[in-house]
Amino acid sequence: MASMEGTVALVTGATGGLGKAVATGLAREGALVAVVGRSAARAEEAMADIRSLVPGALLEPLACDLSDQSSIRAAAGGFLARHDSLHVLVNAAGVFRKERHITADGLELTFATNVMAYFVLSNLLQDALKNAATAGPRTSRIVNIASRYGNTKLDFDDLQTAHGTYSYLRSTPPTMLARVLLTQEFAERLSGSGVVANAVHPGLVKNTSLLQDVGGPFRWVTNTFGAPAEKAADTPLWLATAPETASVSGKLWAKRKELPTPGMGSDPEARHRLWDACAQLTRMP
């Protein structure tokens, strides 16, 4: 892993599981890490855990409810008031919910957190990512946690699982494919700017909070056969820091190997369509 001293990273989902392990790894390499938590208290708790593993870690809390676009804008604004450069953005926050919930923005919660938050935050921070690349010797990196076990296609008429009976098996897998498609689109739009974007399939990650709401056999399988978060953090950290991943972009990775993109991942029209749908829901360009 390359030294990250003098760099700034921002990690969502840094209060639990995989995100916290990635934040810990970045702090260990010397990056200043903005630890995003749904509240300042959650972020401070995670910072204490990280400091117990990495004494002297450079950390700052960033309170943000990622299901709420006004909260994302406020958090991004607060971050940008302190930093004009961002070297690494890791989007790791996510939910897996049994029941359908509607957010303050009127969006279905799983779609809002798992897809829209990636879209909105990455857009709001893209200039800071470009600044870091322009000012320094390294490319800036966006690393999006996703999964290869998502759907192979999206239902563009029902991105928010509004039709039919809601279930986590209907709402969540499409969001994993959506993360891959958004990663590809960011990679293309940021091409030549010094910012690369890649997605990671972490495999099953055991003993995280993700499946607390659903329980049952799915949780048992994950906790029995999954990898610890520290191990699953290896590929995201490699993509975020290694010299050999400085210029790869728009790919899906697992265990430091490139994976074929699932289904619609080979259809540029699909990612353009998803981008437009997200942009419409945020009124962003």
Ligand X SMILES: NC(=O)c1ccc[n+]([C@@H]2O[C@H](COP(=O)([O-])OP(=O)(O)OC[C@H]3O[C@@H](n4cnc5c(N)ncnc54)[C@H](OP(=O)(O)O)[C@@H]3O)[C@@H](O)[C@H]2O)c1
Provide the H-helix boundaries in 105-167: 109-111, 117-135
Could you tell me the smallest distance in angstroms from the CB atom of residue 137 to ligand X?
A: 30
Q: Which is nearer to ligand X, 194 or 202 (CB)?
A: 202
The bridge status of strand 8-11 relative to strand 32-37 is parallel
In the block, which residue shows the tokens 């942009």? 279
13-21, 157-165, 258-266, 277-285 -> range binding ligand X (CB under 6 A) = 13-21
In the block, which residue shows the tokens 């690369």? 196
The Cα–Cα gap between 190 and 233 comes to 25
Contacts of 207 (CB under 8 A, 6+ apart): 17, 223, 226, 228, 229
Continuous segment of H or E residues that includes residue 69: helix 69-82
Could you tell me the smallest distance in angstroms from the CB atom of residue 39 to ligand X?
A: 8
Task: Based on the shown chain and the rule CB under 6 A, indicate whether residue 142 belongs to the binding site for ligand X.
Answer: no
Contact with ligand X (CB under 6 A) among 7, 113, 123, 261 = 113
Task: Based on the shown chain and the rule CB under 6 A, indicate whether residue 67 belongs to the binding site for ligand X.
Answer: yes
Could you tell me the smallest distance in angstroms from the CB atom of residue 27 to ligand X?
A: 16
Q: Which is nearer to ligand X, 19 or 194 (CB)?
A: 19
Binding residues for ligand X, rule CB under 6 A, total 28
Could you tell me the smallest distance in angstroms from the CB atom of residue 269 to ligand X?
A: 25
The angle that helices 268-282 and 117-135 make with each other, rounded to 10 degrees, is 100
Site for ligand X in 146-205 (CB under 6 A): 147, 202, 204-205
The Cα–Cα gap between 54 and 180 comes to 31
**Could you say which DSSP state residue 38 is in?**
S
DSSP 190-235: TTTTTEEEEEE----BTT-STTTTT-HHHHHHHHHHPBPHHHHTHH
Site for ligand X in 21-60 (CB under 6 A): 38, 42
Provide the mask over 197-236, with x wherever binding to ligand X is found by CB under 6 A and - wherever it is not: -----x-xx--xxx-----------x---x--x-------
Contact with ligand X (CB under 6 A) among 32, 61, 65, 194 = 65
Going across the sheet that includes 140-145, the strands are: 59-63, 32-37, 8-11, 88-91, 140-145, 195-200, 252-254, 257-259
Contact with ligand X (CB under 6 A) among 8, 9, 15, 97 = 15
Q: Which is nearer to ligand X, 139 or 147 (CB)?
A: 147
Site for ligand X in 73-102 (CB under 6 A): 92-95
Task: Based on the shown chain and the rule CB under 6 A, indicate whether residue 120 belongs to the binding site for ligand X.
Answer: no
Q: Which residues bind ligand X (CB under 6 A)?
A: 13, 15-19, 38, 42, 64-67, 92-95, 113, 145, 147, 202, 204-205, 208-210, 222, 226, 229
